A = this chain, B = another copy of it.
Amino acid sequence: MSSPTSLDSPRGGTRRWEQIAAALRADIASGHFAPGSRLPNESLLAERFGVNRHTLRQAVQALTREGFVNVRQGSGTWVRELVLDYALQKRTRLSENLAEAGERAERELLAQESGRPAGPWAQALKISAGSRIELLYTRSSVRGRPISLSTAAYPSARLAGMAEAFLRERSITAALRSLGVGDYTRLRSSISARLPTPDEADALARPVTQPVLVVNYTNVDAQGVPVEAACTLFAADAVQLQVDTGEALA
């Protein structure tokens, strides 16, 4: 564990609370204040930075708004679990989204079903309900901590062997590429939230009282043909979804 960031050289033009927020951010990033741990109380922090509690509170409010910490009524301020920004965009890739955050995802195959009827997945994949699909159940973790569970369906006619390809390539993108899908793009994402079932909570190593973000989505190939329909549950304490709609203004 590193030592706390000091504020020896305040730079001109920056407010005191902004400097403190920056120092606390650095302490969280370095692991001095670990994810899931409680921050020292206001009086101690105010003393450390040599400011009054009002100034300190402004810094903590900024960190709360930015998602670095949570204030829990009656029990202090807690460093949020690893909060990852997950961009929902035309090319949505788990590994690239995490690389942006300087992190690396480990994705493991929990279970699979090969050649079962498409049923409820048929519509999104634009195949008949009796057509066969490959179902992959995967879990993604960052720094050994689960962040998401996915159930993904692939048309068997085109992508039989998807599970084996995933086990070989260790990535959905690479597996699809090895089966001839050179590129794919996200058509749409539908986002909701709910509490996890006991099994889901268990797989995410979280309490059943911690909500999950539920993202249903479809990926299509360069010709617009669906290659993947999936539902991902993100641990909402670890992942924030980002939607950028301002590109045209840049």
Which A residues lie at the B interface, using CB under 8 A?
Answer: 15, 17-18, 58, 61-62, 64-65, 67, 73, 85, 88-90, 92, 119-120, 123, 129, 185-195, 197, 209, 211-213, 220, 224, 236, 239-246, 248-249
Q: Across the interface, do B236 and A187 meet the contact criterion of CB distance under 8 Å?
A: no
Residues of chain B with a CB closer than 8 A to A241's CB: 190-192
Q: Which 5 A/B pairs are nearest by Cβ-Cβ distance?
A: A193-B193, A211-B211, A187-B246, A193-B236, A191-B241
Tally of this chain's copies: 2
- Kindly provide the distance from the CB of A230 to the nearest chain B CB, expressed in whole angstroms: 12
Expressed in whole angstroms, the Cα–Cα distance for A118 and B231 within the complex equals 39
| Contacts A194-B236, A195-B209; A188 near B220 (Cβ below 8 A) | no
| Contacts A129-B15, A243-B243, A245-B88; A211 near B188 (Cβ below 8 A) | no
Q: Chain A binding site: helix, strand, loop or mixed by DSSP? A: mixed
Q: Across the interface, do B211 and A195 meet the contact criterion of CB distance under 8 Å?
A: yes
Q: Which residue of chain B has its CB nearest to the CB of A242?
A: B190
Quick one: which of A90, A188, A212, A243 has the most chain B CB within 10 A? A243
Residues of chain B with a CB closer than 8 A to A129's CB: 15, 17-18, 58
Q: Across the interface, do A65 and B120 meet the contact criterion of CB distance under 8 Å?
A: yes
- Kindly provide the distance from the CB of A88 to the nearest chain B CB, expressed in whole angstroms: 5
Expressed in whole angstroms, the Cα–Cα distance for A31 and B20 within the complex equals 55
Residues of chain B with a CB closer than 8 A to A195's CB: 209, 211
Residues of chain B with a CB closer than 8 A to A186's CB: 245-246
